[in-house]
A and B are shown apart, each in its own frame.
Chain A
Amino acid sequence: MSKDVVSPPLGRGTRNAWKRKFLERAIAILLFLSSFLSILITAGIVAVLLFEAITFFVDVSFLEFITGTRWTPLFSSKQFGVLALVAGTTLTAVLAMVVALPLGLLSAIYLSEYSPDGVRRLVKPILEVLAGIPTVVYGYFALLFVTPILRGISGDIAVFNALSASIVMGIMILPMVSSLSEDAMRAVPRNLREAAYALGSTKLEVSTLVVVPAALSGIMSAFILAVSRAIGETMIVTIAAGQNPSFTLNPFVPIETMTAYIVQVSQGDAPAGSIEFKTIFAVALLLFAITLIMNLLSQYVVSRFREEYE
C-alpha cells in the first residue's frame, strides 16, 4: 500500500494536514461540479430549445403550429402546421411497434419461459447485437433491401415510404422490448410459477396468465421506452421514408418525421436566425417534450411495479 494512506503520528505534520484537508476539499468540489454538469446539460437543452423556439413563436402563431396540417417552411409560401410531421412520426412509430411489440414480447416469453438456459445465454446477446448496429446501417438496409421487396409485392408502394422504414425500425427496437420484458419476467418469483403448475397449468397458461400479468408493469415500461426510442429515431426514416411532410396515415407514400425534418434543414445551409433555422428548435422542443414525458411515464410505471413486489 502506498505511503499516503498511513496517517502521520499524532501532533506532527500540521502543515501537511492542512494541505491535505485543502486538497480533499478541492477534489470534492471538482467532483461535485462534474456531477452538477449533468443537470446543467438538461437545463442547457431546455434553455437552447426554448430560447430559439420562443423567437420562432413570435413570428408564427403557436396555434397554427400545433393545429396546422401543412408544413412547408422551406417553400416560398410558408406554412407551419407541425401536425404533418407529427403524423409522420406517429405513423412510423406505431408501425414499428406493430413489428417490435409482438415479436419482442414472444421472444421474451420464449427466452424467459421456454428456452434452456444455454440457449438463452447464447441468443440474448445476439439479439442485443440488433440494438447495437448503427441506425445509418438500418437506413441503408431499409432503402436498398426492404423497399425493393415491398415494391415487388405491391406496385402502389413508393420508393420512399413509411412502411419499409417502420419494419426495419421495428427490428431495431425489438431487442429493447425483448430484453427489458425478459428481465421483468425473470424477476417474477419462481414460486408463483410453481403455484400455477401445481394447479395443472400448461406452460402457455403459466406464461400468459401468471408471468406476463405479474411482470406487466416492467413490460409496459419497456414498451413505452421502445416507443420513445422509435419517436426519436432519425436516420432510418431520413433515408428510407422520404422528406415529404404529409398529414397522412398511408404507409405507402413518402412522409417526413420530426427528426428527419431536423436533418433536412441541418443539411441545407439555413442561415442562423432565419425562420427556417428556428423551425428546427420548435420541432426539437416538441420532440424533446414528447420523449421526456414517455421516459418519465416509463420510470413511474416501473417504480409502481417495485412496490407491488417487495
Chain B
Amino acid sequence: MAVIPRTEFQRRRNRRKWLGRAFHGMCLLSVAIALGMLAVLLIYLLIQGATGINWSFLTSFASRHPDQAGIKAAILGSIYVVLVAGVVSFTLGVATALYLEEYAARSRFAKIAKINIANLAGVPSIVYGILGLQIFVHNLHLGKSVLAGGFTLALLVLPIVIVAAGEAVRAVPPSFREGSYALGATRWQVIWHIVFPLAFPGILTGVILAVSRAIGETAPLIAMGALTFVPFSPDSPLSRFTVLPIQIFNWTSRPQEGFQEAAAAGIIVLLVILLIMNAGAVILRNHFQNKWEG
C-alpha cells in the first residue's frame, strides 16, 4: 500500500461505501417512483370510473346528459377503424418485410428503405393525421370516414409491423430455405410454404402490438377530422365515426363532473381492451416459442 497512506484510504473507503449505499437507494427510489406512478394512475382511474361502467354505458350513444352518455358508437368506431388498419398494415407490412429480407436483402434499396422506416417510426402521430386528411379525405375523396381513418392509422403503425415481420422472417433458419431450394422450389414457393408459416406467429404478435397502438391513438384521427360527437353507429366504410380515445378526450375537456366520470369509465374500457390484446400477444409468443424450442 505504497501509493496511499492507510488511514487516508480507510477514511475514503468509508465515504465510498456510504456514497455507494446512497446511490443504490436513489436508483431503487427511481424505479419505485415510476412503478408507484403507474399504480397511482391505475387506482385513480378505477376509483373514478368503476361506478360508471354498466350495460347501458356500453350500449348507449353519446348524449348531452352525462348520466345517459354511453360509448356504443365509439366502441364500434374503434373496432371498424382498427380492423381496417390491421388488415392494411398487415398486408403492406408483411409484403414489405418479405421483399426487404428475402428479395433485396443487403441491397442499397433495402438499406435506404430501412433507414426510411426507422425515421417514419419517429414521425409524430399528428403529422400522419394531416397526411391522412390531405391524401385520403381530400385527394381520394373518402371523406372523414371509417376507411380514411383506418388507412391513416395503417400508415402510422406500418413501421411497427414491418420491423416485427422483418425480425420474424430473419429468425427462420437459413437451413430451412436451403433445404427447399435444393428440392427445386422457386423463391416464392419457399417463402409461401416455408418462411411465411414459420414467421407467422412473430408477425401476428407484431400486428397485435401495432393494432393496440392504433386503438389508443387520438391525435391523428382528430387531425384527420373524425367526429367528437356521434349519436349513431357507423353503417358503412364511408360513414363518419368517432373512436374511444376521442370520446374520452371529448368528455375529459368538459367541465361537468359527470362527463369526467364517463371519461374514466371509457378509459377503463380502453385499458381492458389493450390488456386483453397485449396478453394475447404474450400468450401467442410464448406458445409458439415453446413449440419451436420443444
Contact = CB atoms under 8 A, between A and B. Distances in A.
On whether A and B touch (CB less than 8 Å), the answer reads yes
Interface of A: 1-2, 4-7, 20, 23-24, 27-28, 30-32, 34-39, 41-42, 44-45, 48-49, 52, 102-104, 106-107, 109-111, 114, 123, 126-127, 129-130, 132-141, 143-145, 171, 174-175, 178, 202-205, 207-208, 225, 228-229, 231-235, 238-239, 259, 262-263, 266-267, 272, 280-281, 284, 287-288, 291-292, 294-296, 299
Given A110-B31, A262-B126, A262-B223, A38 B113 contact: yes
B95 A235 contact: no
Contact of B16 (A28, A205, A238, A239): A205
A126 B133 CA distance: 36
A127 B30 CA distance: 11
B238 interface: no
Interface in B1-53: 16-17, 19-20, 23-24, 26-31, 33-35, 37-38, 40-41, 44-45, 48
A7 B119 contact: no
Given A231-B124, A288-B124, A106 B218 contact: no
A27 B188 contact: yes
A7 B113 CA distance: 34
Given A35-B96, A110-B27, A239-B252, A234 B130 contact: no
A141 B44 contact: yes
B271 A41 contact: no
Contacts of B59: none
B222 A35 contact: no
For chain A, what secondary structure do more than half of its interface residues adopt (helix, strand, loop), or is it mixed? helix
A285 B215 CA distance: 25
What 7 A-B pairs come out closest when comparing CB atoms? A232-B124, A7-B184, A134-B216, A34-B95, A110-B27, A106-B30, A31-B99
B124 A291 contact: yes
Contact of A5 (B19, B31, B109, B189): B189
A107 B31 contact: yes
Given A136-B216, A235-B218, A299-B115, A259 B193 contact: no
A35 B99 CA distance: 7
A103 B252 contact: no
Contacts of B286: none
B99 A140 contact: no
Interface size class, chain B: 35 or more
B180 A5 contact: yes
Contacts, number: 262
A141 B39 CA distance: 12
Contacts of B134: 48, 52
A228 B134 CA distance: 24
B119 A133 contact: no
9 contacts: A5-B180, A28-B187, A34-B96, A35-B99, A38-B159, A49-B127, A127-B38, A262-B126, A267-B222
A295 B118 contact: yes
A52 B225 CA distance: 17
Given A235-B249, A280-B130, A228 B222 contact: no
Contact of B252 (A35, A139, A228, A291): A139
A144 B260 contact: yes
Contacts of B87: none
A123 B20 CA distance: 22
B93 to A, nearest CB: 9
B186 A24 contact: yes
B264 interface: yes
B116 interface: yes
Contact of B222 (A202, A208, A233, A266): A266
B103 A134 contact: no
Given A129-B38, A133-B271, A204-B20, A103 B249 contact: no
Interface string B86-102: 00000110011011100
A20 B45 CA distance: 58
A73 to B, nearest CB: 16
Nearest to B253: A239
A254 to B, nearest CB: 14
Contacts of A225: 122
Contacts of B263: 140
Contacts of A178: 34
Interface string B244-283: 0100110011000000100110010011001000100000
A31 B130 contact: no
Nearest to B209: A132
Interface string B119-158: 1101111111111011100100000000000000001001
A130 B120 contact: no
B16 A204 contact: yes
Contact of B38 (A126, A239, A291): A126
A130 B29 CA distance: 17
B218 A134 contact: yes
B118 A45 contact: no
Contact of A107 (B30, B115, B180, B253): B30
A28 B116 contact: no
Contacts of A106: 26-27, 29-31
